[in-house]
């Protein structure tokens, strides 16, 4: 793996702590629970990890395996980012600040991943918005890239 992609997700949109994200990534989401779920019920997506608002990290896919987090994507002229990237989802939205606990967990996890995968340099850590700019907006303006990247230095 040579790229780390940061995402956000909340289910239902804008709600936290519902336990619906793990169900979604495990293809067990009850689509009758919320009207929005009917619009995403047939999607089959996954991320390597989710970092909840509390900072708890849940791993869904081995870092050695392909996850389905990036969709149609391009990084530095190379498409199909799912083929060579690790996807980390932060429970959140584009416009609500992430928690200190999430930053702490993300920084710790990133440092471990950089040790395991030396090709993931600071330059090769990006947001979903950067690899799918006309399609995605996450992790959004509420993500403090300066805080995150300076903590990795």
* Residues in CB range of 110: below 8 A, 6 or more apart: 4, 120, 125, 148, 152
Q: Is 42 a catalytic residue?
A: no
Burial 99-121 (b: 16+ CB within 10 A, else e): beebbebbbebbeebbeebeebe
Q: Among the residues of 31-118, which ranges form H helices? A: 37-40, 100-116
- Please give the backbone phi and psi of residue 3, each rounded to the nearest 5 degrees, phi first: -145, 140
Catalytic residue among 42, 52, 89, 91: 89
Q: Which residue has the tokens 């995605």?
A: 136
**Dihedral (CA of 74, 77, 82, 84) sign:** negative
The catalytic residues are 89
């Amino acid at each position: 793996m040579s790229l780390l992609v940061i995402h956000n997700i909340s289910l239902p949109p804008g709600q936290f702590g519902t336990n619906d994200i793990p169900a979604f990534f495990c293809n067990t989401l009850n689509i009758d629970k919320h009207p929005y779920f009917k619009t995403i019920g047939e999607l089959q997506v996954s991320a390597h990890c989710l970092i909840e608002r509390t900072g708890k990290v849940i791993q869904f896919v081995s870092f050695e395996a392909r996850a389905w987090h990036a969709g149609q994507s391009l990084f530095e002229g190379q498409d199909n980012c799912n083929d060579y990237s690790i996807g980390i989802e932060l429970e959140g939205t584009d416009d609500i600040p992430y928690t200190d606990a999430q930053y702490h967990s993300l920084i710790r996890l990133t440092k471990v991943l950089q040790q395991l995968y030396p090709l993931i340099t600071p330059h090769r850590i990006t947001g979903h918005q950067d690899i799918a700019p006309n399609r995605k907006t996450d992790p959004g303006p509420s993500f403090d890239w300066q805080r995150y990247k300076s903590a990795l230095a």
